[in-house]
Amino acid sequence: MSVIDELQNAVETGNRLNAEALTRQALEAGEDAGNLIRQALIPAMAIVGEKFKNGEYFVPELLVASRAMRACLGILRPALVPGAFQTIGRVVIGTVRGDLHDIGKNLVKIMLEGAGFEVIDLGVDVAPERFVEAVRDHQPQIVGMSALLTTTMLSMPATIDALRTAALRDRVKVIVGGAPITDSFADEIAADGYGADAYAAVELAKRFIAA
């Protein structure tokens, strides 16, 4: 079994200590941090989701797998966010109201920081008013919203409305993402862009800053 397969398996089964050791081992062997995320960590969480859907896994298994994933991301982070850099723009990011999923959002945050953005992370379960307050306080060029539940994705238009009501909508570009989000949903709610993954989100953010 390759180290990638072993790492995927360790995260999938929630074996944090093994996952951490394999991540360090892979980095020491010269594996690229981004590849480890793409080829081992993200597929592991996709399988965990499938098993949960099929009734093979329950919430405790989701929790231990996500704990392992987060631990690996913590190890990979320095390799993805290299040293000091010139800040190219500011992003306020959060997982929307009612939603506690933050692994994807954290990945987007790390990749944005790696690309030179300053990121203000509002965390999870972020109410529309908190996004508005953060835009007032930090004056970002970009607001990023993440949602993983079909129920909470509706907090996205609510947040965009709140920005509009506060007369802040025109001052920021809004990027949305997360498993249930699609390009057409982004259009429907008049977001400025949809990131299918963390890499797409970074490309969009760079494009908005350059425009």
Q: Is 49 in the site for ligand B1M (CB under 6 A)?
A: yes
132 binds ligand B1M, rule: CB under 6 A: no
- Can you tell me the distance from the alpha carbon of 36 to that of 24, in angstroms, rounded to the nearest whole number? 11
Q: 92: closest CA among 141, 149, 48?
A: 141
Q: Which of 27, 61, 60 is nearest to 47 (CA)?
A: 61
Provide, rounded to whole angstroms, the least separation between the CB of residue 75 and ligand B1M.
Answer: 16
Selected from 173, 178, 191, 208, the binder of ligand B1M by CB under 6 A is 178
How many helices and strands in the chain, by DSSP H and E?
A: 10, 5
Which residue type sits at 39?
Answer: Q
Structure tokens at 142: 């970009």
Residue 198 interacts with ligand B1M (CB under 6 A)? Answer: yes
Q: Give the amino acid at 100.
A: L
- Our finding on whether 145 is near ligand B1M (CB under 6 A) is yes
Only segment of 13-21, 25-33, 103-111, 126-134 that touches ligand B1M (CB under 6 A): 103-111
* Sign of the alpha-carbon torsion through 90, 201, 166, 125: negative
Q: Of 42, 110, 126, 163, which lies in the binding site for ligand B1M, with binding defined by CB under 6 A?
A: 42
Nearer to ligand B1M, 54 or 86 (CB): 54
Region of 5-13, 20-28, 47-55, 164-172 interacting with ligand B1M (CB under 6 A): 47-55
Instruction: State the nearest-atom distance from the C-beta of 193 to ligand B1M, in Å.
Output: 8
**Judged by CB under 6 A, does residue 74 bind ligand B1M?**
no
Tell me if 185 sits within 8 A of 154, measured CB to CB.
no
Spatial distance between the Cα atoms of 190 and 20, rounded to a whole number of angstroms: 40
- The residue among 20, 10, 15 whose CA lies nearest residue 44 is 10
Q: Which residues bind ligand B1M (CB under 6 A)?
A: 42, 45-46, 48-49, 52-53, 59, 62-63, 66, 93, 98-105, 107-108, 144-146, 148-150, 175-180, 195, 197-198, 201
